[in-house]
Amino acid sequence: MAYEQRKYSLTLAFSLLVLIYIGRLFYLQIIDKSYQLSAENNVLKFVVEYPERGLLFDRNGKLLVYNKVSYDLTVIPNKIKPFDTTFVCNTLSISKDELKKLLQKAKKYSRYKESVIVKMLSEKESYSIQENLFRLPGFGLQKRLIRSYNDTIAPHLIGYIGEVTKKDIERDSYYKQGDYIGKTGIEAYYEKILRGKKGVSIYMVDVHNRIKGRFAEGKYDTLPQRGKNLTVTIDADLQRYTEKLIRGKIGSVVAIQPKTGEILTFVSSPKFYADSLNGRNRAKYYRKLVRDPLKPLFNRAIMSKYPPGSTFKVANALIGLQEGNLFPNTYYSCHYGYHVGGVSVGCHGHKSPLDLYESIQMSCNAYYCNVFRHILEDKHFSDIHESYGTWRKYVISLGFGNKLGIDLPNESGGFIPKSSYYDKYYGKKGWKSLTIISLAIGQGEILVTPLQLANFASTVANRGYYIIPHTVREIEGEKLPPKYNIHHFTAIDQKYFDEVIKGMDLAVNGGQGATARIAAIKDIEVCGKTGTAQNPHGIDHSVFMAFAPKDNPQIAVAVIIENGGYGASIAAPIASLVIEKYIKGKTERQYLEKYVENYKPKQKK
């Protein structure tokens, strides 16, 4: 009896398993098609359809960057028949040995699958090959879109694209070998917005990779989605003009619209030509750029760090006013510099004593050595660490010492040393205000980027706040990130900015002793501050920051020219012309343009 019962149970269990198995097969083969697709993968050909990359326009709607059709030469080795090798070699400007190696490489990859052997043919090359494809069995042309430029302007801002690396693919599985990606500038920062989304077409092929038709009549194909267009913040005409002014010089010019934080012009010199980073000669041109001792690929506007020189006196004036160590009617004397306790900081000849406004107008070193020491030696601080820490917090609030957060890769934060920096070199009790007196005049360890200096000019123009500088004004169908609308207020009260602005006004528009009179513009009230940044490697750098008009400012600008000498020598004239061009739409001082264009900074010692 027990045996019969066990036999019955086993038979029932086996029958249930068979029914479950049959049911599963029915579901997989009749209802669920995914396994069918998987099984057929070995006879399907997936062809990626690349999207159009988003276009770039300037703030006035002028097209800057677009897409152009280019072609790659492809080959299927097993379809090759005897062909005119001389024609192919002459058309592509390669030797027969090179062609032989390319074909061997393709054959090694696969005798039956198509592979690219020559990328990005020129228009002339692709046209010639297209006309003669009937004579080239096994060869073909594969379309691709490459970037093209309406102008040569702003390569450091716009950036360029290039083929993905192994690391790019590891970081983002979206990319496959042979894809292109933004490498620098806006092209890199906004890559995911500009690139769009790939599509795919699925074809049925035989064992020799010959297409037999669309799989499932295209039911599983997907269309590519083009990238979104961007309106960038720069004014193309102003950018072109500024690049003309700085040509032949090493340095940077950055201009910002104070009320919005939008970058109006962004120049790093020397420049490179993004269009030359397309095509088969890209590698050769890139190697040339990398080997160039002037480093044209280096984005000086956001990566170079310089002492701000006397432009930093404005920051120390603001801190002194805020802390109550300085007042507009505070007078200090200057005897060709500041000379105390064996320390000597030289200064040029000018009237003495001076008040706050005159100290900015005439850029007195001795005045700011006194201001700096009074800040750090104020008796309400317990020691130098507390007073210096307070001073540093003010400086950081003015936009120095950290990355500002511009929408470009590789921004530098500059350098404002912490107390621990000096502790390391002098010991905790081994330094005092006189030890670091060079910070009073923007020298010593302080380093800023041209972007930070332009942002500081914008902050002063706004009377105490800035909006993070940014390069994109509009994203098609999207809003800008909220961070580009936030007002970042400094730790300085608004009323004190009005006091330093009076001095900056006098520096440009004042009488005898004004250091930046060369920057004055008829009918435009420019406020500015010169700087001469000491350079341990050679001739001093020429530095200038300014904004205009004084009331309701429209533009703030910073210029740093390496080995340019005094701030008024070359940086101030460039900034003045940029301001005039932007506000008036034209420049009336041809004599100054000629002076700037012919000015040749001295070479490094």
With a cut of 60, say whether residue 549 has pLDDT above it: yes
The structure's pTM equals: 0.88
With a cut of 60, say whether residue 29 has pLDDT above it: no
Selected from 3.30.70.260, 3.40.710.10, 3.30.1340.10, 3.10.20.30, the CATH number assigned to the domain covering 236-598 reads: 3.40.710.10
Helices 123-131 and 85-92 pack at an angle, to 10 degrees, of 160
With a cut of 60, say whether residue 604 has pLDDT above it: no
Enumerate the β-bridge partners of residue 547. 527, 556
With a cut of 60, say whether residue 26 has pLDDT above it: no
With a cut of 60, say whether residue 3 has pLDDT above it: no
| Average pLDDT rounded to a whole number, residues 172-180 | 90
Higher pLDDT, 330 or 603: 330
Strand, helix or coil for residue 176: coil
Query: pLDDT category, 216, cuts 50, 70, 90?
Result: confident
**Can you give the pLDDT at residue 519?**
97
Give the pLDDT confidence of 340-373 residue by residue, as tens digits.
Answer: 988 999 999 899 999 999 999 999 999 999 999 9
**Residues 531, 444 contacting (CB under 8 angstroms):** no
Query: pLDDT category, 35, cuts 50, 70, 90?
Result: very low
With a cut of 90, say whether residue 220 has pLDDT above it: no
With a cut of 60, say whether residue 337 has pLDDT above it: yes
Strand, helix or coil for residue 546: strand
Specify the amino acid at residue 380. H
**Can you give the pLDDT at residue 119?**
86
**Residues 345, 334 contacting (CB under 8 angstroms):** no
Query: pLDDT category, 70, cuts 50, 70, 90?
Result: confident
The count of C-alpha atoms lying within 13 angstroms of the C-alpha of 71, restricted to the half-sphere facing its C-beta, is: 17
End-to-end CA distance of the chain: 111
Angstrom distances, CA of residue 201 to CA of 139, 198, 204, 219, 224? 21, 10, 10, 10, 10
Domain ranges of the chain: 44-62+150-230, 236-598
Here the tokens at position 223 are 């269309």
Of residues 491, 177, 479, the one with CA closest to residue 322? 491
**Can you give the pLDDT at residue 308?**
97
With a cut of 50, say whether residue 515 has pLDDT above it: yes
> Quick check: do 44-62+150-230 and 236-598 share a fold?
no
With a cut of 60, say whether residue 195 has pLDDT above it: yes
What is the CATH T-level fold of the domain 44-62+150-230, as seen in this structure?
A: Penicillin-binding protein 2a (Domain 2) (3.90.1310)
Query: pLDDT category, 6, cuts 50, 70, 90?
Result: low
With a cut of 90, say whether residue 587 has pLDDT above it: yes
**Can you give the pLDDT at residue 575?**
98
| Average pLDDT rounded to a whole number, residues 564-572 | 95
Query: pLDDT category, 28, cuts 50, 70, 90?
Result: very low
Q: What is the mean pLDDT of the chain?
A: 91
With a cut of 60, say whether residue 472 has pLDDT above it: yes
The count of C-alpha atoms lying within 13 angstroms of the C-alpha of 326, restricted to the half-sphere facing its C-beta, is: 31
The Cα 370–Cα 367 span in angstroms is 5
| Average pLDDT rounded to a whole number, residues 259-268 | 98
Cis peptide preceding 270, ω within 30 of 0: yes
Q: What is the largest CA-CA distance in the chain?
A: 125
The Cα 604–Cα 168 span in angstroms is 39
**Can you give the pLDDT at residue 365?**
96
Total residue count of the chain as it appears in this document: 605
Share of the chain above pLDDT 70, in %: 92
Give the pLDDT confidence of 222-245 residue by residue, as tens digits.
Answer: 899 999 999 999 999 999 999 999
Dihedral of alpha carbons 80, 82, 87, 93, sign:
positive
- Work out the burial of residue 182: count CB atoms within 10 Å of its CB; fewer than 13 is exposed, 13-18 middle, 19 or more buried: buried
Query: pLDDT category, 44, cuts 50, 70, 90?
Result: confident
DSSP H helix total and E strand total for the chain: 21, 20
Cα 112 from chain centre = 44
With a cut of 90, say whether residue 13 has pLDDT above it: no
| Average pLDDT rounded to a whole number, residues 124-138 | 90
**Residues 128, 117 contacting (CB under 8 angstroms):** no
